[in-house]
Amino acid sequence: MVSVSIIGSGALSRSLFAAMSSLPAIRFQGVFGRNQNDAAHFGSFWITQWETLFQSDLILLAVPDDSIEVLYKRLESYKGLVAHCSGITPLIQRAIGSSGVFYPLNSFNKTLTTDLESTPLFVEASSKEGQTLIEQLAKEVSSEVIPLTSDSRAKMHLAAVISQNFSNHMYALSERYCSEHDLDFEWIKPMLRASLESALQSSAIKTQSGPAKRNDLKTLEKHRSLLKDQLTLLELYNTITTSIQQLHEKEL
């Protein structure tokens, strides 16, 4: 049985807590966080004494990237495994004890619990023993556990940001544009759902549509004229249009 503690009480920590706290193969020690307002969410699992963390086999750092190195230094005397949950931060070597990475590739927020069982979980460790331990924990949480180097994980993180964060931003810009012109963004949602499902079932490259791919110059110019007073959005429209055309240039 693996004993685990978590440092951090934000969105990721809440999903990790939901996944781990009731598993019989994990002795979940608790959650340590700076925000006392989060204590009620974790109930009796909220840790108030820093020393309690040192009773665990493994400490997960579910914290912002800029806090990771600071916490590694504070945990330098801890002899167990310290693993951060960042996609972009490389594996950190320790003088005492092992270090690792426990990176679930998904989107997290405080109000909804993310299902980790179907979430790809990328792991890495500084020692063979650490790798065994972190894989053991990961397989209790997720059905898809993948050992991955820091370099490959950073590239995977970038791909995730481009596909998820960037696409969501495009939704947000479209939603605001509709609002500014007294249009209902709800009318677009059936198309978005169908498009996403098609891209996931097939290939986003193969399912690309629209005036940029068709090189429909009249429509592109009409769109640009509609954006002539919104220069930031016009610049983005032109950049994405050019990118689509370059990706599909052999089809034009």
Question: Residue 112: its pLDDT value, please?
Answer: 87
User: What residues contact residue 196 under an 8 Å CB cut-off, 6+ apart?
Assistant: none
Same structural domain, 157 and 143: no
Look up tokens 């994405």; give the residue.
240
**Boundary-marking domain end, from 148, 173, 197:** 148
Same structural domain, 107 and 213: no
Same structural domain, 137 and 187: no
**Boundary-marking domain end, from 91, 118, 148:** 148
**Boundary-marking domain end, from 116, 148, 180:** 148
For residue 161, give its domain range.
152-251
> Can you give the C-alpha Rg of the chain in angstroms?
23
Same structural domain, 210 and 196: yes
Question: 74 by DSSP, 3-state: which?
Answer: helix
Same structural domain, 164 and 68: no
Q: Which amino acid is at 123?
A: V
Span between the terminal Cα atoms of the chain, in Å: 59
**Beta-bridge mates of residue 59:** 5, 82
For 157-166, the CB contacts below 8 A with 24+ separation are 157/87, 157/88, 157/103, 157/105, 158/88, 160/87, 160/105, 164/107
Same structural domain, 221 and 105: no
Q: Rounded to whole angstroms, what are the CA distances from 10 to 15, 33, 110, 142, 183?
A: 9, 9, 6, 20, 35
Could you tell me the two tokens for 56? 């665990």
Same structural domain, 28 and 110: yes
For residues 141 and 106, give the distance between their C-alpha atoms in angstroms, rounded to a whole number. 14
Question: Residue 1: its pLDDT value, please?
Answer: 83
For each of the chain's 252 residues, which pLDDT tens digit applies? 889 999 999 999 999 999 999 899 999 999 999 989 999 999 999 999 998 999 999 999 999 999 999 999 999 999 999 999 999 999 999 989 899 999 999 999 888 899 999 999 999 999 999 999 999 999 999 999 999 999 999 999 999 999 999 999 999 999 999 999 999 999 999 999 999 999 889 888 999 999 999 999 999 999 999 999 999 999 999 999 999 999 998 776
**Cα-based angle 177, 199, 85 (whole degrees, multiple of 5):** 85
Phi-psi region of 214 (alpha: psi -120 to 50; beta: other; left: phi over 0): alpha
* CATH code: domain of residue 221: 1.10.1040.20
Same structural domain, 57 and 80: yes
Question: Residue 76: its pLDDT value, please?
Answer: 93
* CATH code: domain of residue 76: 3.40.50.720
Same structural domain, 159 and 34: no
**How many domains are there within the chain?**
2
Same structural domain, 105 and 61: yes
Question: Residue 252: its pLDDT value, please?
Answer: 62
Same structural domain, 27 and 97: yes
Look up tokens 């004993």; give the residue.
3
Same structural domain, 190 and 131: no
